[in-house]
Structure 1
Amino acid sequence: MMSSANLRNSGTLQSLKRPGFAAVVTVLILAEIVSAFELSMMYVTLPTLIKEFHVDAGTVAWVVTAYLLVSASAGVMGGRFGDMYGRRKVMIIVLMIAGVGSLVSLIGGSLGMVILGRAIQGTAGALMSLALGLAREHLDKERIPVGVAMIGASALIAGAGGAFIAGFMIQVASWHLIFIFSAVLAGVAAVAVMAVIPRDTLVPGQEKPDYLGAVLLPIAVSAILLALSGVSKTGFGSGEFLGLIAGGIVVAAVWVWWELHVESPIVNLRMFKNRQIALVMTASIFASIGPLGGMSVPTQMVLQYPTALGFGLGFTPAAAGIFSALTAVVGYLFSPLGGKVALRFGARTVFIGGLALMAAVIPMILLSYGNVVVFCLAMTLNGIGISLTFGALPNVLIEAIPESHTSETAGTNTMVRNIGQSTATAVGAIILASYQDPRTTIVAQGGISASFAFVLVFAVLAVGVALFLKRHPVQWTPETAQERANRRGTPPGVPVMAAD
């Protein structure tokens, strides 16, 4: 047994070795960049894979869909397991699995193996929730809002950079180089986490993992996302769409029932009884269906369509990629400011401001087709709005939850946002396709406007919901199993089925 002096010396030594703000935030941003890069790198790669494997666009789109399907569930499962067994440990495992997925896609030799590797890579969807939990665990309290804002907003710049890097690699080498790069990136991030982030001090409890919930959740989410991703081909009235939606809803209902009765649920659904958490999740899905998920395709059409159409700006694909990257960089520069404003005035203010800025951008675009200066200004403001929103979102959640449930709640929010973005992609594709010339494949101005109008509706809804958030919310206090037993009058020693 250590003496009190040795204990004090050990504590002093431990405090001296504690990593600083810059080190922790840099490493966690690097980990999150892995997730954002692995998603964005494939959008620019799709045309190359179509030619390489001689398949249609619908088939090759599975390299993105497979990643999203796994990522949606991995976000919440990884967050929950991080809270249970240690976030550092789970983050390292997730990064290693993502690296393996890159290698599978690289050496597989067929599109099927590329898709399989992409599904394995989808486990990286857990990285954001784990990073936010580690930031809250290892940063000084007064610096948490700034650090969390920078980590949250890093997805913006990493996403834009991913498309640019992937395009460059395809141009100078081949699509294989992208997977080599992503595997190395995941490995470097894992080593950085091991070197900088202190070991987990959490002692795993006796609670059993919710394996059934972990299985039912991805099945339900996958069925719904599969239906939405294919609706542009099958239609809303098809048996395939209705069957997948019905099956997904049934499995989701079973999952909800199970989560409310199991001792250690993968998602603690009782958190939604907290007004602040419920409002944040609702605003998140509206924003994801709207500006966060629905802006990319119509804005790229405006950028790359010829000026002769009256609303196109005539950018080349490379120029459009550089422009998108630059607006993302400008937006990211505002993330530390957003964190400081959140610390002074509350994350609610920054969150509403970011959502409102993204909503205000859309009328600017609709009223100024063909004006490159106004469009560039609008997209720069949109980048700032996205940065502020992504940076404030985890801070708004943190204000309403205990530290022990940070990763779990952030993972749930990741799942909600992925579902929203998939919905935006599916509905946006239907809108644009209805205005598309079958001979030239060009979408008419009316289709672009209708797509932006759809985004605007959900942007306004997101702002409206966010206005109901409180600046000083009542924090959610999870009910322990014993407290639940006491409230129900369960005799001591009798197993308790559910914990809040």
Structure 2
Amino acid sequence: MSSPARTLKRPGFAPVIMVLVLAEIVSAFELSMMYVTLPTLIRDFQVDANTVAWVVTAYLLVSASAGVLGGRFGDLYGRRKVLIIVLVVAGIGSLVSLIGGSLGMIILGRAIQGVTGAVLGLAFGLAREHLEEKRVPVGISMVGASALIAGAGGALIAGFMIDAFSWHGIFVFAAVLSVLAAAGISMVIPRDTAVPTRERPDYLGAVLLPVAVSAILLGFSGASKTGFASTSFIALISVGVAAAAVWAWWELRVESPIVNLRMFKNRQVALVMTATVLAAVGPLGGGNVPAQMIMQAPASLGYGLGFSPTGAGVLISSTLLVGYLFSPLGGKLAFRYGARIVFIAGLALVALVIPMILLTYGSTELFFIAMVLNSTGISLAYGALPNLLIEVVPPTHTSETAGTNTMIRNVGQSAAVAIGAYILASHTDPATAAVAREGISAAFIFVFVFAALSVAAALMLRRSPAQWVPETAGERDIRRGTVRSAEESLSSPL
């Protein structure tokens, strides 16, 4: 007798991808829209930049942990159900920010919106669950690279909404987008067929993980202002590392962990995670700030192109859209030749873009070409990344693993922004607030080093990796009993 999951008719490829891409656009838009809004919030609430930056920081703090927790809960209790809940909660967060009337309520709403950090891992799991096997790599690639669409449209849409309705408009748009995505998932994705687990939730792990991630992210987010030798940075990083150590110790012993850390024993998983964090510190996170400096700085500084903020937004949006067009190709290449080749090609491309920028300061045409190549490389890397994990991870742990990768990427990007800002600040003229050309070059060289390291880690991936087979509770009990018996026999007198 066939199982219920097999008798259900699969939805079509296009409807599944459309609703999953829409859900991921909600997640990415929640972040991209706020960068354009910061100056308006500073002016309307008459606060400084450090205070208003919490509308971004609060989101990132929750988002990093939500990626792991949401992915794990989706694997255990049903991905469709958890994704709909996440999108509805995100819509509520937008309403809190909209009607609160104060910066504090906006920050609270932004923290609630941070639950969308769970979307990507859940979307990967649903794509793997409901697409034909041969179409999974293409679908995963398109969903993974859809953040480029949100990045391209986020700045333009947010700018229009702010001009027309002040900051209130972006939260109305975000709330409507969340509701539409939740409705789309509800109508297109079939109901979860998995029986909810009776495993006891890992409450301690769920508490310790956000504490560890939040402390580390807070430390890096403030480092550009206080310095890496400041008491606050050292204290926050120490608390974060200590909490992470306790969390890791607990996760290796609990029956049903939030994150199965034993997956890192698999060579493929460990190398993919390593390449992810290196790329996040480098080209995926560290290149954004100096690139914006180049576009908006005056030509008199020797590297600037003199674009207005709107002009810079149009340039970046157009290059990101071009990059997204390559995401289906990346998925097809991953299916035919393996995700390893596509991942290496994407990382190598973004690495090679950096010398191109360094050697062509002042040329708008060559900078545009460099940004197109950069977006294409990011699209290929983002699309191949989840496929690399899917190749070795069982379906039951797809969202958990993807969520862990999202968390690692968030932490790496947060560190990249802090370190990049520190480098640029050290080459800034206090009188004019202008960054010297040497500072831009130093920031890009830093990015290039980590880009090269990420390529090196990717090259170590095997063409035919070993599968990760999670240890069952029964196997774990047998192993522990065997070890205990061996220890008792060794300690007993002859």
TM-score normalised to structure 2 length: 0.96
Q: Which residue of the partner structure matches residue 144 of structure 1?
A: 136
Letter in 2 for 1:394: P
Q: How does 1:320-335 map to 2 (within 5 A)?
A: 320-335=312-327
Q: Aligned equivalents of 2:449 and 2:313: distance in 1?
A: 27
Residue from 453, 460, 463 that aligns with 1:471? 463
Q: Aligned equivalents of 1:73 and 1:11: distance in 2?
A: 30
Q: Aligned equivalents of 2:362 and 2:109: distance in 1?
A: 41
Residue from 52, 60, 68 that aligns with 1:68? 60
Residue from 441, 449, 453 that aligns with 2:445? 453
How far is the alpha carbon of 1:324 from its aligned partner? 0.6
Q: Which residue of the partner structure matches residue 496 of structure 1?
A: none
Q: Aligned equivalents of 2:210 and 2:172: distance in 1?
A: 28
C-alpha contact 2:271 2:457 (8 A) present in aligned 1: yes
How far is the alpha carbon of 1:372 from its aligned partner? 1.1
Q: Which residue of the partner structure matches residue 487 of structure 2?
A: none
How far is the alpha carbon of 1:368 from its aligned partner? 0.5
Q: Which residue of the partner structure matches residue 488 of structure 2?
A: none
Q: Aligned equivalents of 2:25 and 2:303: distance in 1?
A: 34
Letter in 1 for 2:382: F
Q: Which residue of the partner structure matches residue 299 of structure 2?
A: 307
Residue from 82, 87, 93 that aligns with 1:90? 82
Q: Aligned equivalents of 2:400 and 2:378: distance in 1?
A: 23
Q: Aligned equivalents of 1:232 and 1:331: distance in 2?
A: 30
Q: Which residue of the partner structure matches residue 14 of structure 1?
A: 8
Residue from 277, 285, 288 that aligns with 1:296? 288
- The answer to whether 1:399 aligns with 2:391 is yes
Q: Which residue of the partner structure matches residue 242 of structure 2?
A: 250
- The answer to whether 1:109 aligns with 2:101 is yes
How far is the alpha carbon of 1:239 from its aligned partner? 1.6
When residues 269 and 308 of structure 1 are mapped into structure 2, their CA distance, relative to the original with a 3 A threshold, is same
How far is the alpha carbon of 1:40 from its aligned partner? 0.4
Q: Which residue of the partner structure matches residue 239 of structure 1?
A: 231
Q: Which residue of the partner structure matches residue 159 of structure 1?
A: 151
Q: Which residue of the partner structure matches residue 133 of structure 1?
A: 125
Q: How does 1:14-413 map to 2 (within 5 A)?
A: 14-15=8-9, 18-413=10-405
Q: Aligned equivalents of 2:318 and 2:250: distance in 1?
A: 46
Q: 3-state SS of the aligned residue for 1:319? A: helix
Q: Aligned equivalents of 1:93 and 1:401: distance in 2?
A: 25
Q: 3-state SS of the aligned residue for 1:41? A: helix
Letter in 2 for 1:96: V
How far is the alpha carbon of 1:143 from its aligned partner? 0.2
After TM superposition, the structure 1 stretch with the greater mean CA deviation from structure 2, 222-231 or 276-285, is: 222-231
Letter in 2 for 1:125: G
Letter in 1 for 2:157: I
Q: 3-state SS of the aligned residue for 2:34? A: coil
How far is the alpha carbon of 1:490 from its aligned partner? 6.8
Q: Aligned equivalents of 1:333 and 1:264: distance in 2?
A: 40
How far is the alpha carbon of 1:270 from its aligned partner? 0.4
Q: Which residue of the partner structure matches residue 495 of structure 1?
A: none
How far is the alpha carbon of 1:11 from its aligned partner? 8.7
Residue from 477, 480, 483 that aligns with 1:488? 480
Letter in 2 for 1:326: S
Structure 1 residue runs of 4+, over 3 Å off? Answer: 10-14, 488-491
Q: Which residue of the partner structure matches residue 442 of structure 1?
A: 434
Q: 3-state SS of the aligned residue for 2:93? A: helix
Letter in 1 for 2:276: S
C-alpha contact 2:295 2:305 (8 A) present in aligned 1: yes
Letter in 2 for 1:52: D
Letter in 2 for 1:298: P
How far is the alpha carbon of 1:12 from its aligned partner? 9.4
Unpaired runs of 5+ residues, structure 1, are: 492-500
Q: Aligned equivalents of 1:302 and 1:238: distance in 2?
A: 30
C-alpha contact 2:305 2:364 (8 A) present in aligned 1: yes
C-alpha contact 2:31 2:59 (8 A) present in aligned 1: yes
TM-score normalised to structure 1 length: 0.95
How far is the alpha carbon of 1:486 from its aligned partner? 2.3
After superposition, the C-alpha distances for 1:452-471 in whole angstroms (9 at most, x for unaligned) are 11100000000000000012
When residues 11 and 482 of structure 1 are mapped into structure 2, their CA distance, relative to the original with a 3 A threshold, is closer
How many aligned positions are there? Answer: 483
Q: Which residue of the partner structure matches residue 497 of structure 1?
A: none
Letter in 2 for 1:176: H
After TM superposition, the structure 1 stretch with the greater mean CA deviation from structure 2, 224-233 or 187-196, is: 224-233
Q: 3-state SS of the aligned residue for 1:45? A: helix
How far is the alpha carbon of 1:168 from its aligned partner? 1.4
Aligned-residue Cα RMSD (Å) equals 1.5
Unpaired runs of 5+ residues, structure 2, are: 484-494
Q: Which residue of the partner structure matches residue 417 of structure 1?
A: 409
After TM superposition, the structure 1 stretch with the greater mean CA deviation from structure 2, 21-30 or 440-449, is: 440-449
How far is the alpha carbon of 1:487 from its aligned partner? 2.8
After superposition, the C-alpha distances for 1:425-482 in whole angstroms (9 at most, x for unaligned) are 1101100111112222111111111111110000000000000001211110001011
